[in-house]
Structure 1
């Protein structure tokens, strides 16, 4: 056991050294995780990075961006009927943005809901230097990997001017900073769910988004217009925690449901036994 632990520690140490030497460790530290700032790294640029929750804040739907084809589009074109998942990334990001999009892709694959049918996905670059060509390349890759035909009209990749980008990111509380030395952005990782009217409904942090949480977030944002009675039952048992960006179980509601189910089961059992006893008595009299 000691020899195994020693070997494991040696491999971990060697891996960290290699990551540092290859320059792969610094982007992880620089770009940050979860709600923005990795612990123990007080770099000044990271103090300007994070996600400030602005639940129920209105996104300015008059903002104009460019879609993958280069067409000028107002955000309102994507709202009105269905909830919207918003991911803020930049397309030439060397690491974290790809992890965010890959995590979102995995969650979308696990959902029975489909982008373009029950909801819309907006991926917006916060780098004003990027244009429709990069957006189109990203869309081709992710729509192909998603593998559902509706995604062509349900998952959009946008680019825009600095003013529009700033207004959008400020509206949802997404803070990022440009590092002139590396030519890259320091930024947080997470996605947001918006209502059909463009209000911020839910935040999900990190690079992995539990499909159950994402589904419940979409159902709540749509105010029950999508989903099933089972989803409504789950929403009775689970509560969104803004601090963690996750749904946690409401014990009291679960106990109430369990109690009601127990009473119903006992009542059904007693009714069946009562009817059976009556049939026996009738058979004896006959």
Structure 2
């Protein structure tokens, strides 16, 4: 076998070996989702630490007079959290209702390892986007223990999970309108929020109404890895097509080299 042909065979072997064995595996986050529990009372006595303020409870920001717009996110999230928070900032800027006056914005951090410094920096960035800058009370950022975070998440029916492959929490894209006494009034799903819809949700919450979402498109947080069966199937299909294409190209190249080698050997014998 000539050196060129041997090289081609080695390249083919390496190309086939480079196709990931786990390409068709789906991340272990199938439990992620939302179980809507409208009317459920949130655990207001749950202790947290508010960035720039100190020890508080969730009930500190549920004063019985204003509705609450609650967000679950965390500073280290590089994908879905940033998009959800951007959507919250945009809708808060567009609404006639004013955060801190007409309703209370609250962010509960999902990551129990998040530090005060991380929370403070993220809060400062959010407040700057909202043109509220040093007004920390208008959008408090709460960090807590895993037990405290899970108590709030469980009451909301907010199911999330740690994905070790991406080192991110997988979670739904949803925010929550709460009544002034801390009951779940409505779920607002998605990454972008209509000002009219959020205004209505807060107005209904202020009146103590509870609204069930008829249909919800739940997005999951992921970084380049499939986070649902649909995305996983598509990724797998792309990998299969790519691998098949590479293999076909290599087979064609090897066949060409074999034909060339035989012709060269025949010419050498005839000479």
The TM-score bracket by the shorter chain reads 0.5 to 0.7
Tell me what 1:22 maps to: none
Tell me what 2:41 maps to: 58
Shift of 1:139: 1.2
Shift of 1:149: 6.9
* Correspondence for 2:215 among 232, 238, 244: 244
* Correspondence for 2:85 among 101, 104, 109: 101
SS in 2 for 1:53: coil
* Correspondence for 2:96 among 83, 91, 112: 112
Shift of 1:153: 1.7
Tell me what 2:181 maps to: 197
1:152 aligns with 2:123: no
Aligned length: 193
**Which whole-Å CA distance do the structure 2 matches of 1:244 and 1:151 have between them?**
36
- Compare CA radii of gyration and give the structure with the larger one: 2
Unaligned runs of 5+ in 1: 1-40, 225-234, 247-286
More contact order relative to length (CA 8 Å, sep ≥ 6): 2
TM-score, structure 2 normalization? 0.66
Shift of 1:73: 0.5
SS in 2 for 1:77: helix
SS in 2 for 1:121: strand
CA distance 1:72–1:107, shift in 2 (3 Å): same
CA distance 1:48–1:58, shift in 2 (3 Å): same
**Which whole-Å CA distance do the structure 2 matches of 1:216 and 1:42 have between them?**
42
CA distance 1:42–1:95, shift in 2 (3 Å): same
Shift of 1:51: 1.0
Tell me what 1:215 maps to: 199
**Which whole-Å CA distance do the structure 2 matches of 1:245 and 1:83 have between them?**
22
Shift of 1:154: 1.5
Relative to structure 2, which stretch is displaced further, 166-175 or 181-190?
Answer: 181-190
Contact 1:202 1:245 in 2 (8 A): no
1:183 aligns with 2:154: no
SS in 1 for 2:192: coil
Unaligned runs of 5+ in 2: 1-23, 218-271
